[in-house]
Structure 1
Amino acid sequence: MERRTCVAVLAALTIGLTGGCTDGKEEPPSAGTSPSASPSATASPVTPGPPWHDEVAAAAAGTTVGGKGTPCELPVTFSVPARWKVEAVKGSAEFGEARLGKALMLCEIDARPAGSIGFLRVWRVDGVAGGAEEHLKHFLDAYSPKAADAEYRRLKAGTLDAVEASYPGKDGGAVNDRAVAVSSLYGPIVLSLDTPEPTELLPAYQLVKQSARINRD
Structure 2
Amino acid sequence: MPERAPLRTAVPAALLAAAGLLLTACGTGQEPGAAPTGAAAPTPAQEAQEGTAAPAATLGGPGTACALPFAFSLAEDWKPKAVEVPADPDLAELTKQGPATLRCEVDAKPAGHLGFLRVWTVPKGLARPALEAFVKAEKGSRRAVYADTKAGLLPAVQTVYEVHGELTDETKTERAFAVETADDTVVIVHLGGLDTEEHEAMRPAYELARATLATP
If the length of structure 2 is used for normalisation, what is the TM-score? 0.71
Question: Structure 1, residues 11-37: CA drift from partner, whole Å, max 9, x if none?
Answer: xxxxxxxxxxxxxxxxxxxx9x83414
Name the counterpart of 2:18. none
Q: Shift of residue 44 of structure 1?
A: 4.1
Question: Structure 1, residues 161-214: CA drift from partner, whole Å, max 9, x if none?
Answer: 1000011133425xx311110222232200001212111111111111111112
On the 8 A contact 1:150/1:165 being kept in 2, the answer is: yes
1:75 matches 2:72: no
- SS state of the match for residue 134, structure 1? helix
On the 8 A contact 2:99/2:130 being kept in 1, the answer is: no
Alignment partner for residue 153 of structure 1, among 133, 136, 147? 147
Aligned positions, number: 172
Q: Residues 151 and 144 (structure 1 numbering): CA distance in 2 closer, same or farther, change over 3 Å?
A: same
What pairs with 1:1-217 in structure 2 (closer than 5 Å)?
34-37=27-30, 44-47=43-46, 55-94=49-88, 95-96=91-92, 98-126=95-123, 129=125, 131-147=126-142, 149-170=143-164, 171-173=170-172, 176-186=173-183, 187-196=185-194, 197-215=198-216
Q: Residues 150 and 183 (structure 1 numbering): CA distance in 2 closer, same or farther, change over 3 Å?
A: same
Q: Shift of residue 70 of structure 1?
A: 0.9
CA RMSD of aligned residues (A): 2.5
- SS state of the match for residue 203, structure 1? helix
Q: d(CA) in 1 for partners of 2:134 and 2:48?
A: 23
On the 8 A contact 1:56/1:202 being kept in 2, the answer is: no
Task: Quote the sequence identity (%).
Answer: 34
Structure with more relative contact order (C-alpha pairs < 8 Å, separation 6 or more): 1
Structure 2, unpaired ranges of 5+: 1-22, 35-41, 165-169
Would you tell me which structure has more helix in proportion to its own residues?
2
If the length of structure 1 is used for normalisation, what is the TM-score? 0.71
